[in-house]
Amino acid sequence: MDSCWKRFQTYLQVSQAYKIARRLFVMNAFDGILTIMGVVIGAHFSGLTNPDIVIKAGVGGSIALGISGMSSAYLAERAERKRDLKKLESAMLIDLKKSQFARASEFATIVVALVNGISPALGAIILVLPYFFVPRIDMEEAFMASLGLGLLCLFFLGLFLARISHERMIVSGIRLILVGLLTIAVVSLVSAPGSI
């Protein structure tokens, strides 16, 4: 197990998958949160009183985001890494298909695909959670809790970004909250009764 973990760490270093996965995690979690915020706001302003519809739409959306993210990242990353391997083979005039570099590239492709798929789905699922508590809480409370969770998730993504860039954490967190609030405002204007 220990040797397996060391091999994975080596593959992450050689392939630089960690940097790519980190970037994709933030971008796609952000996408998942904002997408489901839009779904939740649209459902709220359409007058839905059944939490199951919001849950099914949110879970369905998160699964679709996950499958889309995983498959698109796998195919794109695989193509890029195959291209890099062929260029390296051409420059070195040797077959590298069974090399450590090739194995690291395959590992990186899988890691990047998993992160790309899981991060938007995870962000999306978190926003649907309050609707599981209806009727213990009412739909209005579930709606407010969902948006609150979305803004909280965005704040933590901002902290994570600040840690990477060595910027002020609170400022970075607030910056992402402002994007969330802008999204809420715009989607609410478009979704409010009589707006379309």
For 102, residues 6+ apart whose C-beta sits below 8 A from its C-beta are 85, 96
Task: For residue 168, give the 3-state DSSP assignment.
Answer: coil
**Can you give the pLDDT of all 196 residues of the chain as single tens digits?**
667 777 777 766 767 777 878 888 888 899 899 999 999 999 999 988 899 999 999 889 888 988 998 998 889 888 988 888 888 878 887 877 777 778 888 888 888 899 889 998 888 889 999 999 999 999 999 999 999 999 999 999 999 989 888 899 999 999 999 999 999 999 999 987 766 6
Where do the structural domains in the chain lie, given as residue ranges?
A: 9-191
Cα–Cα distance, 135 to 115 (Å, whole number):
34
Assess contact for 176 and 157: CB atoms under 8 A.
Answer: yes
Assess contact for 114 and 69: CB atoms under 8 A.
Answer: no
Assess contact for 42 and 193: CB atoms under 8 A.
Answer: no
Task: For residue 157, give the 3-state DSSP assignment.
Answer: helix
Q: CA nearest 104: which of 1, 25, 19, 7?
A: 7
Cα–Cα distance, 147 to 138 (Å, whole number):
15
Task: For residue 124, give the 3-state DSSP assignment.
Answer: helix
Return the amino acid letter for 34: L
pTM, full prediction: 0.83
Degrees, nearest 5: CA angle 64-70-71: 90
